[in-house]
Structure 1
Amino acid sequence: MQDSLTPDETDLRLVHALQAAPRASWHEVGRSLGVDPVTAARRWQGLVDAGLARVTAYPEVRLWAQDHCNAFIEVDIEPTARPHAVEVLSRIPQIVSISVISSGRDLFLTVLTPDLAGLSHVVLQQLHGLPGLRRTRTHTVTTVYGEGNHWRLGALEPQRRARAGAGRPTGGRAVWKPHHREVLRALDDGRRPAAEIAARTGRSGSTVRRWLGEMVDGRLLSLRCEVAQPITGWPITATFWARVPPDELDRTATALTELPEVRLCAAVTGADNLVMTLWLRSLGDVQRLEAELARRLPALTLTDRAVTLRAVKRMGCLVDETGRITEVVPVDPWATA
């Protein structure tokens, strides 16, 4: 890596390779990139130390939305109370993402809980106890069509992409069990070796490897190579709210997930039944993309849009003002206060 601010092309290709296969061995990563495994490991550690990349772990949100509870929460709060609120909320394991946004809202939260009772506790006990709170608006998710785990940096050549993407889960669905939760809580680093997870949980290494296999093959667990947004070439985050006729929702949302700008696309309850989060190359792309959506998807009516002023937390990763990853608060939907 050239320096902590400007990763070179090999670093970006390394990130892309780990986006495709987050727990691949360094031998596999080195082979996909055409570099020595020791070099790949050293470069990755440099990226992690600089806060430019990290593999994080969380429940696979598309299946989680079917059996549990996902929600987006808009929070309006007094400006002087915002720093305290951000500090408090960023430490809550069920609140997996936090953004400070524009367009008449203060904070935009993504929340994972086991059920509606858990969501009610987060909203009514933890959010409503914040000093300076004005109001909250909660939108429960009915279907997740696409999320950031499938977004790619685009740094690998096509032939290497196929090699790096090998070995994706093919098993049937599994059900969350207490031992799966133990593993999830130990995965503050998604690349943590099974032996270290075993030491944290008091289990054997072979048992942990088997449980990890169950979670990945059973599509319980998402492993995501998170990357500091400023180095991606897509420095702008925008959120669009939209309305789509119910009979057009699946087709329209599926088409949206095919756009390279779309990081998240989910159906929600409320007058606006679709929310999408986008990464863009410039502010001008907001207007360009609106025009493109109007042309390509006539059933879609955009009702509001907001630009992220600052990301605070992204799928458990705490992010500073420069966009660097400073710390991880492990995602735990079952956490108690």
Structure 2
Amino acid sequence: MQDSRTPDETDLRLVHALQATPRATWHEVGRALDIDPATAARRWQGLTDAGFARVTAYPDVRLWAQDHCNAFIELDLEPTARAHAVEVLSRLPQVVSIAVISSGRDLFLTVLTPDLPTLSRLVLHDLHRLPGLRGTRTHTVTTVYGEGNHWRLGALEPQRRAQPDRHIPSTASRPVWKQHHRDVLRALDDGRRPAAEIAAGAGKSGSTVRRWLNEMVDGRLLSLRCEVAQSITGWPVSATFRARVPPDELDRTGVALTELPEVRLCAAVTGADNLVLTLWLRSLGDIQRVEAELARRLPALTLTDRAVTLRAVKRMGCLLDESGRITDVVPIDPWASC
């Protein structure tokens, strides 16, 4: 049950530590923060009970874009149909994120499916069954340059911060999804769930599940993210930018954008606007400041659209209330039947 407690500086440092290493033991977290492991565990339980933070698990979206299908889908709805659409879409395990946004569209979805035919069925059949749907626009992802599991709260001293590893395994060394990997993913509604607990539910040994987890994390099949309620981050405003970049400048521009602290997501997509950015900002006025900075640093980039998130409904499987706190989790499962 959520409470009214306000996270303090130690709580924020704890969240940052788990952003860097989401499945670290409490002894490791305690050493990093100079606190007792039991205190770290107790504080984390308080944060999760209050809906301020949770570790979530999902396929590594950068690799998924190379071998499977990521997409952003914009939905236009009759005003009276939005609440029902949100309720239905929130429970679909392929729809990993949902935002109610401004600037001429109603919902902005992030979707993971195994392949293009599955995406087509989702859009053309399942979404089009929604009452009050006026239209959809689908933008398939070609490259993910950066995403939210590399975003950091900034609460730890620089010497305590782990640097994100952006290496992507080569095709030759990369593992592929197998049924047991899918089973583990579906069991990770809590990304910190112990291997022994997953094993008990699956009728497997703890050592076997730990080996599978290591395969998934080391091989970059699986991403783990310490998700945090945006209201406590100091970055309460979320915006989505669409941009146009010449093809020969796209990779360089995408990589450069991931270095900006405001950028949570940067992905190349199909269409005339070939780049999508999601940003967390300190104020609405920051939108203009960031636009000016982008114009100065990246002259090849032309911003074509800006939309403010009016409400985040779901973020990487986490269901959010109107204040942005986590109320529940729908385990991500791109292979699920709609």
* Equivalent in the alignment of 1:47: 47
Q: Is the 8 A contact 1:4 1:47 kept in 2?
A: no
* Equivalent in the alignment of 1:149: 149
Quick one: distance in 1 between partners of 2:75 and 2:165?
A: 40
1:168–1:128 distance in 2 versus 1, CA, 3 Å: closer
Paired amino acid for 2:181: H
Q: Is the 8 A contact 1:169 1:217 kept in 2?
A: no
Q: Is the 8 A contact 2:22 2:192 kept in 1?
A: yes
1:296 is aligned to 2:294? no
Task: Write the deviation string for residues 165-190 of structure 1: whole angstroms up to 9, x where unpaired.
Answer: 69999974211111100000000000
1:98–1:167 distance in 2 versus 1, CA, 3 Å: closer
* Equivalent in the alignment of 1:253: 254
* Equivalent in the alignment of 2:101: 101
Paired amino acid for 1:107: L
Shift of 1:5: 3.9
Identity of aligned residues (%): 84
Shift of 1:328: 0.2
Quick one: distance in 2 between partners of 1:93 and 1:261?
A: 28
Paired amino acid for 1:78: E
Paired amino acid for 2:20: A
Quick one: distance in 2 between partners of 1:169 and 1:143?
A: 14
**TM superposition outliers: structure 1 runs of 4+ over 4 Å:** 165-172
**Aligned-residue CA RMSD in angstroms?**
1.4
* Equivalent in the alignment of 1:8: 8
Aligned residue for 1:286, secondary structure, equals helix
Quick one: distance in 2 between partners of 1:246 and 1:14?
A: 41
* Equivalent in the alignment of 2:270: 269
Shift of 1:158: 1.2
Task: Write the deviation string for residues 75-121 of structure 1: whole angstroms up to 9, x where unpaired.
Answer: 00001000000000000000000000000010000000000011012
Q: Is the 8 A contact 1:21 1:166 kept in 2?
A: no
Aligned residue for 1:128, secondary structure, equals helix
* Equivalent in the alignment of 1:286: 287
Q: Is the 8 A contact 2:237 2:281 kept in 1?
A: yes
Quick one: distance in 1 between partners of 2:248 and 2:95?
A: 31
* Equivalent in the alignment of 2:193: 192
Paired amino acid for 1:192: R
1:169–1:25 distance in 2 versus 1, CA, 3 Å: farther
Paired amino acid for 1:244: V
Shift of 1:159: 1.5
* Equivalent in the alignment of 1:326: 327
* Equivalent in the alignment of 2:318: 317
Aligned residue for 1:99, secondary structure, equals strand
Paired amino acid for 1:97: S
Q: Is the 8 A contact 2:150 2:164 kept in 1?
A: no
Paired amino acid for 1:231: I
Map 1:72-83 → 2, pairs under 5 A: 72-83=72-83
1:66 is aligned to 2:63? no
1:105–1:230 distance in 2 versus 1, CA, 3 Å: same
* Equivalent in the alignment of 2:124: 124
* Equivalent in the alignment of 2:114: 114
Q: Is the 8 A contact 1:228 1:323 kept in 2?
A: yes
Shift of 1:141: 0.2
Residues matched between the structures, number: 333
Aligned residue for 1:111, secondary structure, equals strand
Unaligned runs of 5+ in 2: none
Report the TM-score when normalising by structure 1.
Answer: 0.97
* Equivalent in the alignment of 2:232: 231
Task: Write the deviation string for residues 133-153 of structure 1: whole angstroms up to 9, x where unpaired.
Answer: 000000000000000000000
1:88–1:170 distance in 2 versus 1, CA, 3 Å: closer
* Equivalent in the alignment of 1:90: 90
Task: Write the deviation string for residues 212-271 of structure 1: whole angstroms up to 9, x where unpaired.
Answer: 000001110000000000000000000000000000001111100000000000000001
Quick one: distance in 2 between partners of 1:212 and 1:281?
A: 36
Report the TM-score when normalising by structure 2.
Answer: 0.96
Aligned residue for 1:55, secondary structure, equals strand
1:167–1:310 distance in 2 versus 1, CA, 3 Å: closer
